C-alpha cells in the first residue's frame, strides 16, 4: 500500500509550473465564498438544509477564469472552489447555533457573529493542518473522500469545456427572476395553502425556486422521508390535538391561546415543533452513538499520523503546509480571546474552563470531522450529533458554576457555536485539501486563501442573519431556523428546564421507534419539525429528478450525465433564489415594499391555485432543461 501511495501522480505534475494563488483566483474564491455563505445561511435558516459549494464553485470558477480573465489554470480553479467551500462550511456552523440567541430576544451584532465565526473557523482550519499529510497522503486509497473525488472530476472535466458554467448561470438567472417576481413584486403567492376544516389542518406548498432545486439535489430518498414526517405532523398530530383540545377551557402549556381558536400553523408552532425537536435530538444522539466506534477510531488513527513516517520530497508543493508553530499560536490565541474577551455587548465572558472545553471539543471533533469526511463525505458528516454532545457538556459545566440561567444559556450557545463552526469547517477543509492533493495544488496556499475567505464571508453571513431577522423574524414560519431552535431547546432544558418536556420526550420516543424500523431518523424528524409547505415543495423537486431518472433508465451513463446537469442547474437555481431573497430582505429592512409595484400590474397573491400552477410550471421548466440538449458528461468532455 505504501508503494502505491508513493506512485500516486496528481493531475498536474510537480515539475509543471502553473499559476495558483493569484489576485484573480483568491479574489474570485472570496467572492464565491461570500455568495455561498450568504445563500446557505438564507437557505439553511428557511429549510434546515444547505447545498454543497465545491462543485458549482468549480464550474463557476473555471468559467469565469476562462471567459473573463482568459486563464486556463486548473490550480487556480481548484483554489476558487476550495475557498468557496469555506463559505458553505461556516454557514452550516452558524445556522445550527447562533440564531438561538436572537430568537431569545437578545441583541447580537454583525461584528459579534463575525468574530465568533472567524474564531471557530480559524481553529477549524488550523486543527486539520497537523493531520493533513496523514489523512490525505498516507491514507490515500484507504480514505476515499467521495465528494472530493467528485469535485476533482468536475475540475478536470470543467477544464475541458464551458457548458457546465452556462448551465449554472441559467439556473442562477431563472432562480433570481422567479424570486423577484413572486417574493419581490408579489405577482403570485409564494405560499399557496388550502385549509382542510374537517380535519382542523391545512396543506400547501412553499412555492419558491430554491426548494425545487434542493429537492432535485437531495433526491426522492430524503424528500419522501421528510414528507412522511410532515404528513404525520399535519394529518396525524395536528388533527388529533385539535380534536382532543377543542373543548379545553384554558390554554395548554406552552401555548397562551385556546386550542379551539388556533389555526393549524399555530398548533404546529406551539406543540408540534417540540415533538420534532425531540425527534431531531434523538436522531443526533443515536447517530453519534452509532458513530462512536468510528469517531474513537478516527481520532486514534489521526493521532497516529502525528507520529507516522512522513512522505519524502517535502519541498514539492503538494507537501508544503502552514507551519505547526502557527497552529499552536492560533489555538492559544483563540483560547485567550474566548476566555478574556466578551464576544457580544451584554454577554459575559465564558470563563477559563469553558474556553478550554471549546478548544478541546473543537480539536477532538474537528479531527474526527476531517476523517469522517474521508469516509462518508462532508454532507453525511454527523456535525449535529457532535455539536449536541458538546453543548450538553458545556451547558452542564456552566450550570454547575452557578451562573444566572438566562446568561448561562447564552454562554452555552456561543461556546457550542464556536465548536460547531470549527467542526463544520474542519470537514470542509479536509474535503478541499483532498481534491487539492488529487489535482496537484499547494496545501499552504489553499489554507491561507481559506483564511481570507473565512474573514470576509463571516461578515456577509452575519449580515444575512440579521437582515432575515429584521425582515421576517428568526423562528417564524418564514424563517424557522430549525437547528438553532433545537439547540435553543437543549440549552434551555439544561439551564432552566422551562420547556414542555412531555412533547420533547414524545419526539424522542418517535425517533427511537423510527430507528427500530431501520429508517433514517433525521430527515423524518426534520419533516415533523418544519411546516409541511417546505417538505411538499422539496418533494416536488425530487419527483422531477425521479422523472428524469426514469426517462433515461435504459442508459446509465446518459442518466448520470442528465442528473449531473440537473444538479448544476438546480445549484444555480438555489443560489439565484437566495441572492435575490437577500436583496429583497435588504429592501424590507429599509422599509421598502416592492409588492406595491406588483399590485399595479394586477397581483394575484390571494389565489393559491394560480401560485401552485406557476410553481409546477417552474418544475416543468427544470425537467425540460435537463432532458434537452446534451447531458453533463457529454458537455464537459467535448
Most confident of 175-184, 284-293, 301-310, 443-452: 443-452
Task: Say what the pLDDT of residue 173 is.
Answer: 93
pLDDT band of residue 345 (cuts 50, 70, 90) is: very low
- H, E, C per residue of 530-597: CCHHHHHHHHHHHHHHHHHHHHCCCCHHHHHHHHHHHHHHHHHHHHHHHHHHHHHHHHHHCCCCCHHH
Which pLDDT score, from 0 to 100, does residue 415 have?
A: 92
Residues written for the chain: 638
Q: Is residue 364 part of a domain?
A: yes
Cβ burial of 505 (10 Å; 0-12, 13-18, 19+) is: middle
Specify whether the CB–CB gap between 274 and 504 falls below 8 A. yes
Residue 41 CB-half CA count within 13 A: 33
Q: Are residues 479 and 575 in the same domain?
A: no
Q: What is the mean pLDDT of the chain?
A: 85
Residue 298 lies in a domain: no
Report how far residue 220's alpha carbon sits from residue 550's, in angstroms, rounded to the nearest whole number: 13
Regarding whether 41 and 130 lie in a shared domain, the answer is yes
Which runs of E-coded beta strand occur in 205-361?
A: none
Q: What is the number of domains present in the chain?
A: 2
Q: Which of 522, 482, 516 is nearest to 274 (CA)?
A: 482
Residues 234 and 340 in one domain: no
Mean pLDDT of 520-532: 86
440: exposed, middle or buried (Cβ count in 10 Å: 0-12, 13-18, 19+): buried
Q: Taking every pair of C-alpha atoms in the chain, what is the biggest distance, in angstroms? A: 80
Q: Are residues 560 and 525 in the same domain?
A: yes
How does residue 600 score in pLDDT terms, banded at 50, 70 and 90? low
Are 104 and 49 members of one domain? Answer: yes
Examine the pLDDT at 346 and tell me if it is beyond 50. no
Q: What per-residue confidence (pLDDT) applies to 2?
A: 46
| Within-domain flag for 283 | no
One domain for residues 188 and 79: no
Q: Which residue has the higher pLDDT, 302 or 6?
A: 302
Q: Are residues 544 and 617 in the same domain?
A: yes
Q: Are residues 515 and 452 in the same domain?
A: no
> pLDDT tens digits, residue range 601-619?
655 666 788 889 999 999 9
- Asked whether residue 449 is domain-assigned, the answer is yes
Is it the case that residue 237 has pLDDT exceeding 60? yes
Kindly give the pairing relationship between strand 201-204 and strand 193-196.
antiparallel
> Residues 332, 481: one domain?
yes
Per-residue pLDDT band at 588 (split at 50, 70, 90): confident
Does residue 306 lie in a domain region?
A: no
- Between CA 91 and CA 94 the distance in angstroms is 5
The DSSP output letter for 205 is: -
Domain boundary among 468, 486, 504: 486
Across the range 531-540, mean pLDDT stands at 92
Contact 346, 106 (CB under 8 A): yes
pLDDT at 319: 82
Domain containing residue 445: 22-159+316-486
- Residue 498 and residue 527 in one domain: yes
Half-sphere exposure of residue 566: CA atoms within 13 angstroms, side-chain side: 32
What sign has the CA pseudo-torsion 124, 125, 131, 136?
positive
Burial environment of residue 420 by CB neighbours within 10 A (0 to 12, 13 to 18, 19 or more): buried
Amino acid at each position: 500500500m505504501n508503494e502505491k501511495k508513493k506512485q500516486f501522480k496528481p493531475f498536474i505534475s510537480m515539475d509543471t509550473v502553473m499559476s495558483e494563488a493569484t489576485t484573480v483566483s483568491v479574489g474570485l474564491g472570496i467572492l464565491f465564498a461570500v455568495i455561498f455563505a450568504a445563500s446557505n445561511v438564507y437557505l439553511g435558516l428557511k429549510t434546515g438544509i444547505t447545498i454543497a459549494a465545491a462543485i458549482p464553485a468549480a464550474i463557476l470558477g473555471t468559467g469565469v477564469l476562462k471567459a473573463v480573465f482568459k486563464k486556463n489554470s486548473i490550480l487556480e480553479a481548484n483554489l476558487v472552489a476550495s475557498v468557496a467551500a469555506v463559505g458553505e462550511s461556516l454557514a452550516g456552523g452558524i445556522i445550527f447555533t447562533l440564531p438561538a440567541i436572537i430568537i431569545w430576544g437578545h441583541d447580537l451584532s454583525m461584528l459579534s457573529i463575525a468574530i465568533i465565526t472567524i474564531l471557530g473557523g480559524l481553529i477549524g482550519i488550523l486543527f486539520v493542518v497537523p493531520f493533513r499529510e496523514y489523512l490525505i497522503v498516507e491514507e490515500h486509497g484507504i480514505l476515499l473522500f467521495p465528494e472530493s473525488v467528485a469535485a476533482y472530476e468536475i475540475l478536470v472535466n470543467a477544464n475541458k469545456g464551458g457548458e457546465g458554467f452556462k448551465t449554472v448561470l441559467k439556473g442562477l438567472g431563472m432562480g433570481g427572476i422567479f424570486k423577484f417576481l413572486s417574493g419581490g413584486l408579489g405577482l403570485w403567492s409564494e405560499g399557496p395553502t388550502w385549509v382542510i376544516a374537517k380535519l382542523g389542518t391545512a396543506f400547501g406548498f412553499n412555492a419558491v425556486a430554491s426548494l425545487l432545486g434542493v429537492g432535485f439535489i437531495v433526491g426522492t430518498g430524503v424528500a419522501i422521508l421528510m414528507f412522511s414526517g410532515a404528513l404525520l405532523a399535519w394529518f396525524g398530530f395536528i388533527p388529533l390535538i385539535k380534536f382532543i383540545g377543542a373543548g379545553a377551557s384554558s390554554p395548554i402549556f406552552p401555548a397562551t391561546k385556546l386550542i379551539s381558536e388556533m389555526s393549524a400553523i399555530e398548533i404546529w408552532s406551539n406543540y408540534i415543533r417540540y415533538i420534532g425537536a425531540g425527534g431531531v435530538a434523538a436522531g443526533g444522539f443515536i447517530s453519534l452513538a452509532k458513530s462512536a466506534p468510528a469517531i474513537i477510531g478516527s481520532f486514534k488513527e489521526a493521532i497516529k499520523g502525528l507520529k507516522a513516517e512522513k512522505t519524502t520530497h517535502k519541498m514539492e508543493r503538494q507537501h508544503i503546509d502552514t507551519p505547526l508553530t502557527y497552529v499552536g499560536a492560533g489555538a492559544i490565541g483563540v483560547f485567550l480571546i474566548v476566555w478574556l474577551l466578551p464576544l457580544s455587548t451584554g454577554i459575559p465572558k465564558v470563563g477559563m474552563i469553558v474556553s478550554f472545553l471549546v478548544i478541546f471539543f473543537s480539536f477532538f471533533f474537528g479531527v474526527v470531522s476531517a476523517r469522517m469526511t474521508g469516509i462518508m463525505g462532508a454532507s453525511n458528516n454527523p456535525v449535529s450529533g457532535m455539536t449536541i454532545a458538546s453543548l450538553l457538556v458545556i451547558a452542564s459545566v456552566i450550570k454547575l458554576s452557578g451562573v444566572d440561567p438566562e446568561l448561562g444559556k447564552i454562554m452555552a450557545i456561543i461556546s457550542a457555536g464556536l465548536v460547531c463552526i470549527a467542526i463544520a469547517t474542519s470537514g470542509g477543509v479536509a474535503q478541499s485539501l483532498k481534491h487539492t492533493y488529487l489535482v496537484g495544488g499547494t496545501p499552504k496556499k489553499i489554507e491561507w486563501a481559506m483564511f481570507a475567505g473565512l474573514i470576509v464571508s463571516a461578515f456577509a453571513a452575519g449580515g444575512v442573519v440579521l437582515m432575515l431577522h429584521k425582515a421576517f423574524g428568526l423562528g417564524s414560519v418564514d424563517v424557522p431556523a430549525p437547528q438553532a431552535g433545537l439547540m435553543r431547546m437543549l440549552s434551555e432544558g439544561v439551564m432552566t428546564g422551562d420547556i414542555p418536556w412531555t412533547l420533547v420526550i414524545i419526539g424522542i420516543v418517535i425517533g427511537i421507534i423510527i430507528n427500530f424500523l431501520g429508517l433514517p431518523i433525521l430527515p423524518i424528524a426534520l419533516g415533523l419539525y418544519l411546516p409541511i409547505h417546505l417538505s411538499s415543495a422539496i418533494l416536488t423537486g425530487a419527483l422531477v429528478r425521479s422523472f428524469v431518472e426514469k426517462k433515461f433508465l435504459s442508459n446509465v451513463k446518459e442518466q448520470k450525465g442528465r442528473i449531473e446537469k440537473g444538479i448544476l442547474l438546480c445549484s444555480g437555481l438555489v443560489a439565484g433564489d437566495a441572492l435575490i431573497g437577500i436583496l429583497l430582505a435588504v429592501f424590507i429592512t429599509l422599509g421598502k415594499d416592492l409588492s406595491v409595484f406588483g399590485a399595479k400590474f394586477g397581483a394575484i397573491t390571494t389565489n393559491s391555485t394560480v401560485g401552485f400552477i406557476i410553481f409546477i410550471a417552474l418544475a416543468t421548466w427544470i425537467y425540460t432543461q435537463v432532458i434537452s440538449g446534451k447531458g453533463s458528461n457529454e458537455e464537459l468532455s467535448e
